C-alpha cells in the first residue's frame, strides 16, 4: 500500500513540474508574441503617418497615385512578412508548451 502511495505522489510531483515548465514556456511565448505585435503596430503606424505626410505634400495627382501605390505595396509586403513571423511564434509557443509533457506521455505509452 505504501509503495502505491509513493508512486502516486511521485507521478503527481512530476505532473506538477511538467505543468510549471509548460506554464513558463507559455508565458515566455505570449510575451514574445505581445512584444512582436506591439513593435509591428508601432512601425505600421509610423509608416502610415510618413506616407500620409508625403501624400499631403504631393504636387500632382500622378505623384500622389505613385506614393499611394508604393505605400500599399510596402504595407502589404510588411503585413505578409509579419503574419509569417507571428505564425512561427505561435507554432513555437505550442511546441515549447507541449515539450515538458513529451517525456510523461512517452513513459505512459510504453
User: What percentage of the chain has pLDDT greater than the value 70?
Assistant: 91
Domain ranges, ordered by start, for the chain: 17-104
- Cell 502505491 belongs to residue: 4
**DSSP letter (8 states) at residue 1:** -
**Which ranges of the chain does DSSP label H, i.e. alpha helix?**
2-57, 61-109
Query: What does the pLDDT read at residue 78?
Result: 96
| pLDDT-derived band at 108, boundaries 50, 70, 90 | low
Each residue's pLDDT tens digit, 56-87: 999 999 999 999 999 999 999 999 999 999 99
Distances (CA, A) of 55 to 51, 77, 105: 6, 20, 58
Q: What is the pLDDT of residue 109?
A: 67
Q: What is the pTM of this model?
A: 0.75
Q: How confident is the model at residue 110 (pLDDT cuts 50, 70, 90)?
A: low
Amino acid at each position: 500500500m505504501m509503495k502505491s502511495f509513493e508512486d502516486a505522489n511521485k507521478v503527481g510531483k512530476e505532473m506538477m513540474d511538467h505543468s510549471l515548465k509548460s506554464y513558463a514556456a507559455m508565458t515566455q511565448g505570449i510575451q514574445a508574441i505581445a512584444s512582436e505585435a506591439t513593435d509591428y503596430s508601432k512601425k505600421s503606424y509610423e509608416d502610415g503617418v510618413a506616407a500620409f505626410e508625403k501624400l499631403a505634400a504631393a504636387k500632382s495627382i500622378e505623384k500622389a497615385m505613385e506614393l499611394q501605390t508604393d505605400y500599399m505595396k510596402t504595407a502589404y509586403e510588411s503585413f505578409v512578412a509579419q503574419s509569417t513571423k507571428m505564425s512561427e511564434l505561435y507554432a513555437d509557443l505550442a511546441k515549447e508548451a507541449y515539450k515538458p509533457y513529451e517525456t510523461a506521455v512517452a513513459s505512459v505509452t510504453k
